[in-house]
A and B are shown apart, each in its own frame.
Chain A
């Protein structure tokens, strides 16, 4: 409630987020990253309408061909258009990347912030749970989930998110433990602010830097995890595709048909670069200590 009031009266000045935007718009690498990501998302959303072919349209007679005018990025061994498959693959990969990371982020930040802030026995119990989850082979965890609930793409997001939050929780916890001892947090206590308000207004904004950087690292690792699971038959199934899956198949035929590896690989790398640039830019932009010019 208090937060809302503050923002409404904060018209004349610039808020943290407005400042961040001003600074971000001066960082060309970050803007490049943002543009690339937006384009990728846009293409993924529009794929069903703009894709040159259907994603399961086979042409066995054609087989694997190198890039040509009909098939800009070539075709795979079943004669399916690679551009189309990469575009459809992007839909799956980006969705998995963003949703699973969002799940990991949400659980990880809340878990870590609570453990670090409350401390003592609560902290010990919460972090032992994290340790146990770390020790648990995540494959077994995901296979179990799949067996119990059946194969379902939404479940896949949740399952990946549920194993990726652990490191996030540890990072946030260590940050929060350092912040908890700071005098401005004690000042907030002495103002009588509730624990939740303190976590939300004073603790979490100060952990943003490392969290953002780790997030941009999590997204690509989630995409690769999905590829691995799909490769084992636990994720999405052919003829559906994802970037990770395309890369896996590409590796097998790397020597005969290199384009089957190169194009999905380049797309994934491009996304990764874009994410890292944007992440770095965001971290700087959200830190009021960096100057606006």
Chain B
């Protein structure tokens, strides 16, 4: 008998618009020392499945319509709330996706860690503050917090994202759970940090012999650490089985679609760069921000971009890779004159943009556009698609009342949206469709340069593949030049002709994509490339040294 056995789980949401079957007849089991990966796109019910085990769903609207979840001989779905608290405190722990919001900013790390020990519902397990502290420091040490004793009294904002996720893991482990549920624990993290966290979870699992349920939207991430994989779509099981079986002998069309969508390999389309025809020339660009955390007496700057020079040829797709905080987004914004530059010049098609007043800049703005990361934030929620797409056309005088309707239709067609939807508001669209709208707005003014700032990071993997193909197609059709900013190296490799690696405000390496991939010159680049998880269990196990 496995540690946890879920049978025929059904969770329905009773909303005003009818019943949504979030989880429909899902069964799985996980035993101690085993890792089960639940993989699916957003809305597939993977998180709902796990939250329903711990009674963490909002009820109503959620109703558990059927099924059993036997954990160590007891049904989690029918036990009362006191018993459930016992399970949550002792046996089952959860690591959430976003380490930034899962910690209370007003309580020190140590205090948050020992909370479950000091206020434990089971009185016999309550420990003295001193013992709890020792235990917490030991755990912080185990999850790789350097100088744990000194950092015990620090507050969450004093930790980086990766460190906070480590603290979250320590918190989950403090009561020695037997089942650990990880809900996309690395999605919000950089690739190198992701590799470290995955390694940590794997190591802890082996040393402590816990069962792990690992929820992810990314098959690539789970290849190395999962023993079994469960693929969900629209609340139903598409396929389940051993990791190798899923990756190498998948029967389900949906799983194959997911696997095919993982960006892999080099760019297929030819390099369209017109050599000698320079569109953008950046020389020694610096963008500093005031650092308000420092005292006024010692005026300090955050050097987001610290002396960058680059050239973009007309027709080229230049990839810009870096981890969060490397200054890559600021560089993009500075090129577009959306962030104030401290020093250096940006030359666009022979004109220096730096000295121009906002009014003088308007004709240049038409020629360079931006695509943003978050399609939920980049569209005005009170404007219909039509208004969003028509605004740039009318503002720049590219259309008049007679032609505007046709031009908006043309744009919708370009980005693959049906005309019938043009009177809808952004919230009525899915993430991928919203990103199409945002891309439509960016190409509306027929720009020459587009800066795409992580345009696919917020999207599911199949949608990501579609949007990447759309971008490539539009670059071809409209003769665009693009600076493609991303933290995801596989995506950058798939789309760009040339790549630059950015770290701490500086470009540390650049070169043709494939040349850089096969022969990176800098240690940092090598580290980055090494940290990419491979969507191939055997290779991945070799990579992380687990055979």
Contact = CB atoms under 8 A, between A and B. Distances in A.
A47 to B, nearest CB: 39
B478 interface: no
A5 B370 contact: no
B395 A197 contact: yes
B271 interface: no
B381 interface: yes
Contact of B401 (A9, A16, A186, A206): A9
B395 A193 contact: yes
Interface stretch (B72-80, B201-209, B372-380): B372-380
Given A2-B391, A191-B369, A206 B396 contact: no
B422 A191 contact: no
A13 B396 contact: no
Given A9-B390, A9-B404, A206 B382 contact: yes
Interface string A120-154: 00000000000000000000000000000000000
Interface residues of B, number: 46
Interface string A175-204: 000000011101111111111010001100
Nearest to B423: A13
Contacts of A195: 358
A40 to B, nearest CB: 31
Interface centre among B336, B377, B400 (most CB of A within 10 A): B377
Contacts of B374: 183
Contact of A206 (B381, B384, B392, B441): B381
B338 interface: yes
B381 A288 contact: yes
Nearest to B453: A183
A191 B382 contact: no
A8 interface: yes
Contacts of B425: 288-289
B438 A289 contact: no
Contact of A192 (B333, B380, B396, B441): B396
B214 interface: no
A206 B382 CA distance: 7
A12 interface: yes
Given A193-B391, A208-B382, A288-B427, 9 more contacts: A6-B391, A9-B404, A10-B386, A187-B370, A191-B391, A191-B441, A195-B358, A201-B391, A206-B382
B338 A189 contact: yes
B228 interface: no
B270 to A, nearest CB: 29
B445 interface: yes
Interface in B359-403: 359, 361-366, 368-370, 372-374, 377-384, 386-387, 390-392, 394-396, 400-401
A191 B378 contact: no
5 contacts: A184-B380, A192-B362, A194-B359, A289-B381, A291-B17
Given A12-B423, A13-B422, A184-B378, A190 B404 contact: no
Interface of A: 2, 5-6, 8-10, 12-14, 16, 182-184, 186-195, 197, 201-202, 205-206, 208, 286, 288-289, 291
A188 B390 CA distance: 12
A241 B161 CA distance: 64
B16 to A, nearest CB: 8
A112 B536 CA distance: 55
A206 B370 contact: no
Contact of A186 (B361, B372, B423, B441): B372
A9 B101 CA distance: 44
Interface of B: 16-17, 333, 336, 338, 358-359, 361-366, 368-370, 372-374, 377-384, 386-387, 390-392, 394-396, 400-401, 404-405, 422-423, 425, 427, 438, 441, 445
A208 B368 CA distance: 32
Nearest to B396: A192
User: What 3 pairs across the A-B complex have the smallest Cβ distances?
Assistant: A192-B365, A13-B423, A183-B378
Given A189-B338, A191-B365, A191-B395, A5 B404 contact: yes
A5 B401 contact: yes
B369 A184 contact: no
Nearest to A197: B395
Contacts of A183: 372-374, 377-378
A14 B386 CA distance: 11
Contacts of A208: 382
Contacts of A16: 382
A187 B450 CA distance: 12
Nearest to A184: B380
Contacts of A187: 370, 372, 378-379, 438, 441
B426 to A, nearest CB: 8
A182 B374 CA distance: 10
Nearest to B408: A9
Given A187-B378, A191-B391, A8 B401 contact: yes
A2 B395 contact: yes
Contacts of B363: 192
Contacts of A188: 380, 391
Contacts of B386: 10, 13
Contacts of B384: 13
A6 B380 contact: no
A194 B382 CA distance: 19
Given A191-B365, A191-B391, A9 B379 contact: no
Contact of A202 (B362, B380, B441, B445): B380
Interface centre among A183, A186, A189 (most CB of B within 10 A): A183
A236 B16 CA distance: 51
A288 B423 contact: no
Contacts of B445: 191
Contacts of A197: 395
A184 B379 contact: yes
B423 A14 contact: yes
B394 to A, nearest CB: 4
Nearest to A203: B380
A190 B369 contact: yes
A13 B420 CA distance: 10
Contacts of B390: 6, 9
